Amino acid sequence: MKINLNYTNLTKHYVNGDWVKPISSKKFEVLNPATEELVGHIILGNAEDVDRAVDFANKAFRDFSSTSKSERLSLLKKLREITEKRFDELAYAMTVEMGAPITMAKDAQADAALGHLDGFIHALEDLKEHEILKNGDEIVREPIGVCGLITPWNWPINQIALKVIPALATGCTCILKPSEHTPISAMIYAEIIHEAGYPSGVFNLVHGDGPEVGSGLSKHPDIQMMSFTGSTRAGREVTCDSAETVKRVTLELGGKSPNIVFSDSNLVTRITESVEECMFNTGQSCDAPTRMLIESNCYDEALKIAKNAAENISVGDPQTDGTHIGPLLTKFSMTGSKK
C-alpha cells in the first residue's frame, strides 16, 4: 500500500488556526526507519515559538472555556467525521515515520484515534458539569486552562488522541509537542482539527525537542496543566519543571511488565501469546510484557516454547499487508535492544 502524502505543512507549526513559519531555524531530519531514506525535515521550535503558541492558546481559552457542552460535542463529532475520512493517511503516515506495518497501523494505531473519540464523546454526553449532592454540596466541573501535551513516537496518534481530545472536550486549549521522530501523523491530525472547525488558538502544534520545547512548556507560567507520555527520566524533568509554577501533571512512563506463569497453566497458549504481545509494535510499547517469571519446575519447557514462538515471528516490509513486524525506530533503538 502506498499513499502520496502532502508534506507542505511539515516544516511549519500550527498556531492560532494557521500554518506559520517557526521563529527557530533549527532543522531535524525525518527518516523512514525501514529504508533510512530522508522523508523531509521539521523545524525544532525554541522558547519564542513556545511563547507565541501559549499566548494564542491563553487568549483563545477565554471564549472556548465558555462554550456549551453541546457545542463541544458538535465539534467532536465533526472531528470524528474528518478523522474517518483521513484514516488511511494517518495509518500510512505512521508506516512511513516509525515503520509500523500497514495492517497494524490501521487496525491498532490509527483505529485508536476513532476508538478514543467515541469514548470521549460518550463520556462528555454523560458528564454532569454542575452537580448538587444529597447533602447540598455542589460540584462544578470546569476547564483547567491551557494544557501542554507531550507525546511519544511509539504510539503517535493513540497518545495524541488521548491528550488532545479530552482537552478539547472539556473546554481547554492546548499546545501539542509530538515526538520529533513522528511529526507526519501529528501534522495530519492538526489538519484534521483545522478542518473540523475548531476556533483559532484552541489547538496549537509546535515541533521541538524535550530540552527546549518540552521544558519551555513545563516551565511556562501561563500553562495550567502538563500531560506527558515518555521515558521515566523525561517524566521526572517534566515534574520538576512543572513544580516551579505548581501545575497539575499527569504522567505515563516506561515499564518493564512481568508475566507470571505457573506450571498448571496452558504453557503453549500463555507463553506464545506473551511472546507475540511482547513483539507487537516491534517491542516498542511501554506495556510490552518483556519479562516472564516462570515456576521453576516448568522453566525448561517454557524456554523452548518461547524460543519457538519468537522464531515464528517474521520481519517484513511495513508497506506490505500482513502480521509481520517492522523495523526498530533508530539505530540507537537497535543498539539498546541488543543489550
User: Which residues participate in catalysis according to the annotation?
Assistant: 252, 286
Please give the Cα distance from 209 to 250 (Å, whole number).
19
Nearest residue to 277 (alpha-carbon basis) of 292, 289, 293, 261: 289
Q: Which triple of cell numbers denotes residue 87? A: 484514516
SS3 337: helix
Region of 320 please: left (phi>0), alpha (psi -120 to 50) or beta. beta
Please give the Cα distance from 59 to 182 (Å, whole number).
29
For residue 129, count other CB atoms closer than 10 A to its CB. Answer: 13
Please give the Cα distance from 336 to 321 (Å, whole number).
28
Owner of C-alpha cell 464523546: 121
Please give the Cα distance from 318 to 328 (Å, whole number).
11
Please give the Cα distance from 270 to 295 (Å, whole number).
13
Please give the Cα distance from 95 to 114 (Å, whole number).
18
Please give the Cα distance from 186 to 19 (Å, whole number).
13
Please give the Cα distance from 252 to 19 (Å, whole number).
30
Please give the Cα distance from 170 to 163 (Å, whole number).
11
Query: 140 - beta bridge partners?
Result: 130
Please give the Cα distance from 183 to 31 (Å, whole number).
11
33: burial class by Cβ within 10 Å (0-12, 13-18, 19+)?
A: buried
